[in-house]
Amino acid sequence: MAGDELKSTTEHKPASVKVFNCPSCGAGVVLRAVGQSITAVCGSCAAIIDSSNENYKVLEKASKTGKRDQVIPLGQRGKFRGVVWEVIGYVERSDGSSVYTWSEYLLFNPIKGFRWLTEFDGHWNYVITTKSRPTEDNLGRRKVTYLSKDYYLFHTGLAKVIYVIGEFYWQVKQGETVQVEDYVSPPEILSSEKSNNEIVWSLGEYVSQSEVKSAFQISKPMPLQSGVAPNQPSTVTETANYAGKYWGMFLGILFLIQLASMFLSKNETVYSGQFTYSSTDTEKLKVSPQFELSHGMSNLEVSVSAPVQNNWVEIQSDLVNDDNGESEDFEQGIEYYFGYDSDGSWTEGSQNSSLVLSSIPSGKYHLNIEASGPALPILNPAITMDVVTPESAVAKNSYWQNGKLKAVEPVLNEKIEGIAKYYFENGQLNKEIAFRNGERNGKYTIYAEDGSVQQTGVHLNGQLNGNVKWYNSKGVVTRDVYYNNGVLVPNNSANASSLTLNVVIKRDVTTWSNFLWALFLISFFPILVLWRNRSFEMSRWSQSDFSPYYQHQEEN
């Protein structure tokens, strides 16, 4: 596409067809743009001829072997963009490394002048030389501005003529090399060609294969498309633009609805209370005082907090309607952990939990709460599990080899039931252990051989639970630890004898779940479209050294 900038179409002289004999081989050469073509290339010997005067001097003898497949033959006419064009010249070019080659077809119309059709990797562009020079901006990402539109640098390199045939409006030479720069703003590409201190700018627009094939009635197979062209329009760009526009509109409406909900919500506290669990409790179920919900149906926010540390508690609740006996059950969990590691202090979880119950009608209600988990103090087995040996139990005795009593176990229904006693070989009492239904349940005591108490504790369902104490010979406690379902609690002092749950119930509160779901639904399609569009753009720029998506390392 080298050559001087085209003059205004009103200055084009009427063209006529002329035939002359090639001064090199004598073959006939057809001129289709007489008076406007400067050079012509003989189709028989590939001689480049000066056609600007009647002497027809041979400027250069070049190779007539093309490296690519010329899809549109010289002289082929086609109606393209409402204008009848005739192909009068064909050029093949390569980059500086001769790895990439492309085709350029020179189009001519006696009124409109010259245009170009270019093809690379099956992608086509309709090109015209510009009448003004773009404004260059080398600050930050390189770009040029033409007719108030920005074009970003995509490629720089060399373009070399490797084959020519037909006639041209400049003195084309095989082997001619120019420095090129391509700037893109899909579906357009703005290119500069610099040679001999002259810069020529041209503007190309991406066109489809089908449009080219239909316009010029091409019957042979079109070149196969490969990859994404520098200025190929995204298949989803228009959809992305519409999606972004309507997404913004719906997002604004959604925020207005949420703001209105925040202002109109009453956030009225209808109940606030505490439930304390201690080791002296005989029942885990707690019942709140009655409270009333008025002003019609609304949502309820139930917030529970507990001072758990490196522990957790699970709360099962029932909201009971005292007017009709109906209930709604729900669960909440509270867990909070903290500590230190090589990265410093860390925390996980929270000492608070909230959930929202929707569409709760007016009426009088109460709350049933039952908590469970290792953060709760267990019921004191010393109080709740006094064990007595049943009168119907049969004593099962065993003896040491010296004949002294070793053990007395009360058996009922083939299981130990009651207080079992175990002895040293000298006949002194060693252990008293309570059993229920064959499992250790209740108090136990371990004695020293001198008869003093050595250890006391409690089993619950076969597991140590509560305080386990060791004594010296004078009956003084030397060690006191705490077990929870057979697990030693590391710091007994941290295991409180009670745990308090703070419960607050509010009606008609502002919620965000519906807002977030609506936001997800209206955002899913736009995000999908934008992701597809971005993937397309990344594919486009993957072949560029100036990609905004990739950083190319300089080769040493």
pLDDT, tens digit, 9 for 90 and up, residues 245-295 = 888 888 899 889 889 888 888 899 999 999 988 876 767 789 999 999 998
- H/E element, 188: strand 188-195
The Cβ-side half-sphere exposure at 534, using a 13 Å CA radius, reads: 9
CA proximity to 273, closest of 247, 304, 248, 245? 304
Better-predicted residue by pLDDT, 555 or 38? 38
The token pair at 475 is: 């009956």
Q: Which of 437, 469, 484 is the last residue of a domain?
A: 484
CB atoms within 10 A of CB 193: 18
In a domain, 229, yes or no: no
Whole-angstrom distance, CA of residue 419 vs CA of residue 399: 18
CATH of residue 453's domain is: 3.90.930.1
Whether residue 208 is found in the same domain as residue 101: yes
Whether residue 95 is found in the same domain as residue 18: yes
Q: What pLDDT score does 203 carry? A: 97
In a domain, 324, yes or no: yes
Which of 129-133, 408-412, 467-471, 546-550 has the largest mean confidence?
408-412
Please check the confidence at residue 132 and state whether its pLDDT lies above 60: yes
Whether residue 197 is found in the same domain as residue 261: no
Compute the average pLDDT of residues 154-175: 89
pLDDT digits (tens, 9 = 90+) for 407-444: 999 999 999 999 999 999 999 999 999 999 999 998 99
Strand-pairing partners, residue 146, are 149
**Helix 237-264 × helix 513-541 angle, to 10°:** 160
In a domain, 13, yes or no: yes
| Confidence band of 9 (pLDDT split at 50, 70, 90) | very low
Whether residue 60 is found in the same domain as residue 163: yes
Whether residue 39 is found in the same domain as residue 133: yes
Whole-angstrom distance, CA of residue 264 vs CA of residue 511: 12
Compute the average pLDDT of residues 466-489: 85
Whole-angstrom distance, CA of residue 47 vs CA of residue 163: 11
Whether residue 48 is found in the same domain as residue 176: yes
514 three-class SS: helix
Q: What pLDDT score does 453 carry? A: 95
Q: What pLDDT score does 13 carry? A: 44
In a domain, 234, yes or no: no
In a domain, 551, yes or no: no
Compute the average pLDDT of residues 353-357: 94
Cβ pair 139, 152 in contact under 8 A: no
> How many structural domains is the chain composed of?
4
Query: Which CA distances in Å does 455 have to 96, 194, 322, 352, 369?
Result: 93, 99, 50, 39, 37
Q: What pLDDT score does 16 carry? A: 64
The token pair at 341 is: 């590691």
Dmax (CA) for the chain in angstroms is 143
pLDDT digits (tens, 9 = 90+) for 193-230: 998 878 999 999 999 999 999 999 998 899 999 999 99
Cβ pair 378, 360 in contact under 8 A: no
The Cβ-side half-sphere exposure at 339, using a 13 Å CA radius, reads: 8
Whether residue 419 is found in the same domain as residue 472: yes
Print the domain residue range for 22. 9-215
Whole-angstrom distance, CA of residue 366 vs CA of residue 287: 7
In a domain, 292, yes or no: yes
Whether residue 82 is found in the same domain as residue 37: yes
Q: What pLDDT score does 64 carry? A: 61
Whether residue 72 is found in the same domain as residue 199: yes
| Confidence band of 493 (pLDDT split at 50, 70, 90) | very low
Q: What pLDDT score does 143 carry? A: 93
Q: What pLDDT score does 1 carry? A: 57
In a domain, 548, yes or no: no
Angle at 49 between CA 43 and CA 50, to 5 degrees: 145
520 three-class SS: helix
**Cross-sheet strand order for the sheet of 268-278:** 268-278, 498-507, 298-305, 352-360
Report the predicted TM-score, pTM, of the whole model to 2 decimal places: 0.56
| Confidence band of 323 (pLDDT split at 50, 70, 90) | very high
Query: Which CA distances in Å does 554 have to 141, 157, 158, 546?
Result: 17, 16, 19, 12
How many residues in the chain? 556
**What percent of the chain clears pLDDT 90, i.e. is strictly above it?**
50
Whole-angstrom distance, CA of residue 354 vs CA of residue 412: 50
Cis omega (within 30 of 0) for bond into 73? no
Q: What pLDDT score does 248 carry? A: 85
Q: What pLDDT score does 8 carry? A: 37
Whole-angstrom distance, CA of residue 333 vs CA of residue 371: 9
Whether residue 459 is found in the same domain as residue 529: no
Q: What pLDDT score does 492 carry? A: 43
Compute the average pLDDT of residues 326-332: 94
Cβ pair 434, 385 in contact under 8 A: yes
Whether residue 115 is found in the same domain as residue 58: yes
Compute the average pLDDT of residues 86-102: 91
Whether residue 275 is found in the same domain as residue 414: no
Handedness of CA 156, 157, 163, 168 (dihedral sign): positive
Residue 363 neighbours by CB under 8 Å, 6+ apart: 292, 293, 321, 322, 323, 324
In a domain, 499, yes or no: no
Better-predicted residue by pLDDT, 311 or 492? 311
In degrees and rounded to multiples of 5, residue 27 shows phi and psi of: -70, 155
Q: Which of 342, 372, 402 is the last residue of a domain?
A: 372
